[in-house]
Amino acid sequence: MNLLFIGDIVGEPGRRAVRQLLPGLRSKFALDLVIANGENSAGGSGITVNTANEIFAAGVDIMTTGDHLWDQKEVTILLQTEARFLRPLNYPAGVMGQGSTVCHSENHPPVGVLNLQGRTFMPPLENPFLCGKTEVEHLRKITKIIFVDMHAEATSEKIALARMLDGRVSAVVGTHTHVQTADEQIFPGGTAYLSDAGFTGPHDSVLGREIEPIIERFRSNTPQKFDVAKGRILLQGAVIEIDEATGRALNIRRVSEPLAENA
């Protein structure tokens, strides 16, 4: 089976890219399942019910998130009612929402999806290595096909987590830095890996935001308003081919698909 993972969708340009480019990618790669990180989909910060629904309607099956989860108040509605919506698993016990799910469909075996968040240069959640390993073993009682979104800043933390899970999950792909890395590979145990999927939105920017206010923030150390940028929209992520019988990854390729200027 073929799975597309879409890196952080940033604002309206990011949602437009998913809407307009996903149908073409679906036929080009014969996609069976689409997972997307939506943590920046509402104006670049957080996610609302409407933006989530727009992304699901565009063909995304499961949505993951990260440290921008709480930026929009109404995310609590999604956390409490939306079965296709994940938050990082490693919040303390009792926090609303879910960190993993199993996606069932008629055309392919069940697919487990797990969302974790790193702790290096990030808010201190529970240990993703301990929570993640336990959750993967729990998911493997249902299916061998498991995808992990590791939302983290440090490449060492992402690689270490993926190496720990090698042979136990089909793929670990990182998000959060918004910069697509070129280290896609399949580890010896059969786990596909990419340190960061990149982001889906305007790349004539600093990580999706207008350039000048960010320069001014760094130059002057004063707060600035960071609007979502406009130009050079790309849909970024990775397509992973998975052996349905074993759960092993057969292939991983990066995606960086431009949206036509007038789209």
Largest separation between any pair of C-alpha atoms in the chain = 56
Residue 111 near residue 139, CB atoms below 8 Å = no
Q: Which residues contact 166 (CB under 8 A, 6 or more apart)?
A: 187, 188, 189, 190, 191
203 binds Fe ion (CB under 5 A): no
Strands 171-175 and 192-194: parallel
Does 158 sit near Fe ion (CB under 5 A)? no
Q: Which stretch binds Fe ion (CB under 5 A): 3-11, 115-123, 227-235, 236-244?
A: 3-11
201 vs 247, which CB is nearer to Fe ion? 201
The only residue of 1, 3, 6, 8 in contact with Fe ion, by rule CB under 5 A = 8
The contact pattern for Fe ion, residues 25-44, with x = CB under 5 A and - = no contact, is --------------xx----
* Minimum CB distance to Fe ion smaller for 16 or for 68: 68
Q: Is 71 in the site for Fe ion (CB under 5 A)?
A: no
Pair 18, 7: CB distance under 8 Å: no
Residue with tokens 């697509």, as numbered in its chain? 180
- Where residue 183 falls (left for φ over 0; alpha for ψ -120 to 50; beta otherwise) is alpha
Provide the annotated active-site residues.
Answer: 68
Question: Please, which residue, 46 or 247, has the CB nearer to Fe ion?
Answer: 46
What residue ranges bind Fe ion (CB under 5 A)?
Answer: 8, 39-40, 66-67, 176
